[in-house]
Amino acid sequence: MYLLERLKRRRVITTDDSKPKNYVRIHSLIIMGLGGSLGLGIYVLVGQVVLQMTGPAITVSVTIAVLASLFAVLCIAELSSRVPHSGSAYIYSYVIMGEFVAFTVGWSMLLEYMTSTASAARGLSSYLNVLLDDKLSNAFQSILTLNCSFTSTYLDFLSFALILLGSCLLACGAKQSMWLNLVLTIINLITICIIIIAGTTFSDMKNWSRSSSEVPIGAGSGGYFPYTLEGLFRGAAICVFGIVGLNCITPLNGDVINSNHYVPMAIFISMLIVFCTYFVVTNILTAMIPYYLLNPFTPIVSAFKYYNLDSVCWCVIVGSVLALIMSLLNFMFSMPPIMHAMAEDALMFKCFAYTQSLTRASMIVTVLTGIMAAFLALIISFDFLIELSIIGVMLAYTIVAIGVILMHYKVDDVDNAAGNNGKDINFKRAMSQIVKKPREKRSNALSQYTARMFLYIFLLLSASFCVVLKFRPVIHDLWLIMLAASIGILNILCIIMINLQPKSTDFPPFKAPCVPVIPCVSIWLNLFLVSKMSGSACIAYLFWMIIGYIIYFGQVTADFLGKNLTRKVAKEMISNLKFVV
């Protein structure tokens, strides 16, 4: 009984629960979003996606990624207006779904931010390595060579050092890092403008229609879609990670003045700027030179080198290096708040909740997460880190979308008792609720049960479809095509059944449109894109979650024993003391 109550225990946000607002304003939030999204994705990931997965059709992948992110951002914006508190998807799930789901999300987000930090450091290291003609990698390989499917071929000591240096900077105080982000973001935006202006003058649409005879072996079949549909979807998943920097905004909810309005506004402004930038830059990049000539780690620099534009190259190099540094700092900035929030809720060690009065930063958490991310960057390969980050991002997005649906169809307090009418709520009554006329106009316990039942069915169907799709492409077998179509029809029916239920009258400052359609589509897209990740990344992610659950249930057990045995031990100690006396 104690375990079930503990798993379902929810966080209650009261007026006294929120700490005094600090210095963070809307322009700082936008800077954080742009800093995390216009760095690694634009200057490194775009090259890998174009060269290995999509070719010129990267704009299709970017569009899919932006749609998936937009649906998720709409859900995040609503929950951030409902729960103006630090912690991002972690605190949202704690308030709405309970402690166990909150720990799952928080532990997953901790891995997401650590792997994102490590991948940003490795991206910067690889970028510098290419600019230095592989001198760094050759030097590191002379020390030790690694031969494993998920590790790098060498120990990346530069990435290791960069993360440790960034940890020291963040431990000195968050405000100084904000000003640094502002300067670096302005430089990055100027660099992007130079890329767009200079690149447009050298664009040639013929590069979008190269024949297969012109394309080297291993670079696809030429044309605008040189690779398979599978490559487009995998590229979309990678592009989602490129714009995941928008997640750097919501962890600062607790420090934002008027967060109910500023946080959603900052998210949408950042999203618009990021989408326009990615769409324009990727179109220009693939139109400048044939896609198969791009360098996977320095795509933009290699495009301008093709035309011997040395002055533009140097501008891009300086701007891109600073942008990658900015991405690294933004991901690092997002790690401590998650662990700190979990520690404050007694889901992590209490020492992690300690905050320095001068800098408002947790020295222990900042250093610990920095060291863990540094070791990941030292050993794990760049591609594997990206995949782990994507899985973590998609889980957080999925939980947020589920939370929005639950909040829209929750029981109104005034109708809580009226919904039962003294009867037990069961499947039969839920089905009768669907055909009942006239329909209820306000949500009650029965309508909440019905909405949740069809939501869980939708989740089960979507997850089953993605698991099947992971191990066997649908297009290869007729029966799989029929199965996929059947699951799709059932999913649509589930959405319709949820939509038939009356909604709660509790309206937040910002409300996501088209609920439950947008959250359900977001859930499906997230699970679908996760299915495009490698099996080894999924196994590694599950292993990380198992470690987290061992820690969590160990702590729950310790708390249970402590509460139940303290009184007994105290009585025994008193009786023993009396015996001695």
Residue 200 lies in a domain: yes
What pLDDT, in 10s, does the model give residues 534-569?
889 999 999 999 999 998 888 888 777 776 666 565
Residues 358, 418 share a domain? no
Largest CA distance in the chain: 98
Domain final residue pick, 405, 422, 439: 405
Residues 350, 242 share a domain? yes
Domain final residue pick, 367, 382, 405: 405
The Cα 215–Cα 172 span in angstroms is 51
The Cα 385–Cα 359 span in angstroms is 31
SS3 87: coil
Residues 421, 439 share a domain? yes
The torsion angle over the Cα atoms of residues 466, 468, 470 and 473, rounded to 10 degrees, is -110
| Range in 63-67, 191-195, 539-543, 552-556 the model is least confident about | 552-556
Residues 574, 484 share a domain? no
- Helix, strand, coil in percent for the chain, rounding step 5: 75, 0, 25
What pLDDT, in 10s, does the model give residues 455-479?
999 999 999 888 887 776 655 677 7
| Range in 41-50, 498-507, 561-570 the model is least confident about | 561-570
In sequence order, what are the beta bridge partners of 154? 145
Residue 528 lies in a domain: no
Residue 15 lies in a domain: no
Total domains present in the chain: 3
Residues 396, 445 share a domain? no
Residue 10 lies in a domain: no
SS3 256: strand
The Cα 182–Cα 455 span in angstroms is 42
CA dihedral for 435, 441, 444, 449, sign (positive or negative): positive
Residues 104, 246 share a domain? yes
Residues 351, 457 share a domain? no
pLDDT of residue 573: 53
C-alpha to C-alpha distances, 130 to 135, 136, 325, 326, 410, nearest whole angstrom: 8, 9, 16, 19, 54
What pLDDT, in 10s, does the model give residues 390-419?
999 999 899 999 999 999 998 876 545 444
Name which residue leads in pLDDT, 251 or 386: 386
Looking at the predicted structure, is the pLDDT value of residue 203 above 80? yes
Residues 459, 341 share a domain? no
Residues 433, 382 share a domain? no
The Cα 88–Cα 100 span in angstroms is 16
Residue 16 lies in a domain: no
Residues 343, 476 share a domain? no
Residue 2 lies in a domain: no
Range of the domain at 262: 50-405
Residue 253 lies in a domain: yes
Looking up residue 156, the CATH number of its domain turns out to be 1.20.1740.10
Peptide bond into 264 cis (omega under 30): no
Residue 173 lies in a domain: yes
Q: Give 221-227's long-range contacts (Cβ < 8 A, gap of 24+).
A: 223/55, 224/55, 224/56, 224/57, 225/55, 225/56, 225/57, 226/54, 226/55, 226/56, 226/57, 226/291, 227/53, 227/54, 227/55, 227/57
SS3 499: helix
Residues 195, 295 share a domain? yes
Token readout for 211 is: 């024949």
Average pLDDT, the chain: 83
Residues 131, 240 share a domain? yes
pLDDT of residue 182: 82
- Quick check: 59 and 282 in contact, CB under 8 A? yes
Domain final residue pick, 405, 426, 450: 405
